[in-house]
Amino acid sequence: MSDDIIIPFQVGDGAVRGRIVRLGAAIDDILRPHGFSDPVSELVGETAALTALMGSALKFDGKLIFQAQGEGAVRLIVADYRSDGAIRATASVDGEGIARGLAALMGKGHVALTIDQGPDMDRYQGVTPIEGGTLEEAAIAYFDRSEQIPTAVRLAVGRVMRPGGQSAWRAGGIMVQFMPGEGGARERGEAALKSDDDREAWDRAAAFLNSTQADELLDPALAPEELLYRLYHEDGVRVFEAKPVSAACACNAGKIAAVLSRYSKDDLADLADDGRIKVSCEFCRRDYYFDEEGHEASI
């Protein structure tokens, strides 16, 4: 299995650790229902891949939520990754979104990462300005500002042709970080690169990762393990157990009915069309129908 997985890995015996994600059917299921322009779809796909890379590092049951807000054609991008491997993503678009790249599509704005450990725990959130022209550069800037962790990232999204002439979306991503003291107290930022050997190991790992080409991340015939060997065979690379990823939305009729129950009868009547209220999930685009009293109705 080389699709819809995340594989953690370690470069050599040092403190450079990373993860590689390959999304096939999962990202096609996320992007296809929206009908975004290709540049917007690519940015949403990159966001899903990045969120999966970051979220898969969670050591507990919970959820990582990525949000980027801007002033351009794309006003909002949201993705979340649950510890069970479920991923979803969407965007709010105000315009055609024909330019490519984070800065071109979103303009000025900010990135927020939220870690949700459930109702009994406080949420952790880090917020930084959008920096750089690409989502890769914005992610590196986030880790530098908010977490002070040396980080390198490569992301790719594109269409491939299926047998029969139909196209499908694919996405891939790879991230490495310098993380001494894994599992315990962790030093951060430049202070973590104490020795010349540390800095050399990190510079090599980042340079090799940055040589990764988009087609290598997207090629269904190139296994993730083979790509990691291509990049890091000189220093040695150890892969760990793969984690499955799936496109899954958390929406359901019960949650929507609970929201509708807060509306007055007059408000519900205003929302109805021919006696039915239609609610569409912004993530999966599934349609739900309710009567004028807020009870689920048949299609």
Q: Assess whether 44 and 15 both reside in one domain.
A: yes
Q: Assess whether 30 and 49 both reside in one domain.
A: yes
What are the contacts of 198-206 at 24+ separation with CB within 8 A? 198/14, 198/15, 201/11, 201/12, 201/14, 201/15, 201/16, 201/235, 202/16, 202/150, 202/178, 204/235, 205/11, 205/16, 205/18, 205/152, 205/176, 205/178, 205/232, 205/235, 206/150, 206/152, 206/176
CA distance 96 to 94: 7
- Which amino acid belongs to residue 111? V
Q: Assess whether 257 and 228 both reside in one domain.
A: no
Q: Assess whether 58 and 187 both reside in one domain.
A: yes
Looking at 80-84, 116-120, 124-128, 263-267, which range is the least confident one? 116-120
Number of domains composing the chain: 2
Q: Residue written as tokens 């107290």?
A: 185
CA distance 296 to 287: 11
Percent of the chain with pLDDT over 90: 58
Q: Is residue 298 part of a domain?
A: no
Checking if the pLDDT of 299 tops 70, the result is no
160-186 mean pLDDT = 80
pLDDT at 275: 85
- For residues 96 and 144, which has the higher predicted lDDT (pLDDT)? 144
- Output the DSSP codes for 214-226: HHHHH-TTS-HHH
CATH number for the domain spanning 207: value is 3.55.30.10
98-118 mean pLDDT = 87
What is the enclosing helix (H) or strand (E) of 26? helix 25-31
- For residues 108 and 2, which has the higher predicted lDDT (pLDDT)? 108
pLDDT at 191: 59
Take residue 151 and report the two structure tokens written for it: 């980080």
Q: Is residue 53 part of a domain?
A: yes
Q: Is residue 68 part of a domain?
A: yes
Take residue 40 and report the two structure tokens written for it: 């917007």
Residue 185 pLDDT class (50, 70, 90 cuts): very low
- For residues 120 and 275, which has the higher predicted lDDT (pLDDT)? 275
Take residue 60 and report the two structure tokens written for it: 């507990």
pLDDT at 147: 77
SS3 state at 239: strand
Q: Assess whether 280 and 264 both reside in one domain.
A: yes
Range of the domain at 235: 5-247
Q: Is residue 205 part of a domain?
A: yes
At 57-67, the pLDDT tens digits run 888 788 999 99
CA distance 255 to 104: 35
pLDDT at 243: 95
Q: Residue written as tokens 């499955």?
A: 244
pLDDT at 126: 86
The answer to whether 151 touches 192, Cβ cutoff 8 Å, is no
Residue 198 pLDDT class (50, 70, 90 cuts): confident
Checking if the pLDDT of 182 tops 60, the result is no
Q: Assess whether 18 and 163 both reside in one domain.
A: yes
Percent of the chain with pLDDT over 70: 93
pLDDT at 209: 96
Length of the chain: 299
At 17-40, the pLDDT tens digits run 999 999 999 999 999 999 899 999
The alpha carbons of the chain give a radius of gyration, in whole angstroms, of 21
The rounded mean pLDDT for the chain is 89
Q: Assess whether 145 and 218 both reside in one domain.
A: yes
Residue 70 pLDDT class (50, 70, 90 cuts): very high
The answer to whether 35 touches 280, Cβ cutoff 8 Å, is no
Q: Assess whether 9 and 134 both reside in one domain.
A: yes
Q: Is residue 54 part of a domain?
A: yes
Checking if the pLDDT of 190 tops 80, the result is no
pLDDT at 86: 96
203-220 mean pLDDT = 95
At 213-245, the pLDDT tens digits run 999 999 999 999 999 999 999 999 999 999 999
Q: Assess whether 265 and 187 both reside in one domain.
A: no
Q: Is residue 297 part of a domain?
A: no
Q: Assess whether 67 and 215 both reside in one domain.
A: yes
pLDDT at 184: 43
- pTM value is 0.89
At 144-158, the pLDDT tens digits run 888 788 999 999 999
Q: Is residue 296 part of a domain?
A: no
Q: Assess whether 200 and 87 both reside in one domain.
A: yes
Q: Assess whether 241 and 150 both reside in one domain.
A: yes
Cα 193 versus chain centre, distance: 28
Q: Residue written as tokens 């912004």?
A: 282
Q: Is residue 161 part of a domain?
A: yes
CA distance 62 to 240: 21
The answer to whether 263 touches 294, Cβ cutoff 8 Å, is yes
CA distance 186 to 106: 34
The answer to whether 182 touches 79, Cβ cutoff 8 Å, is no
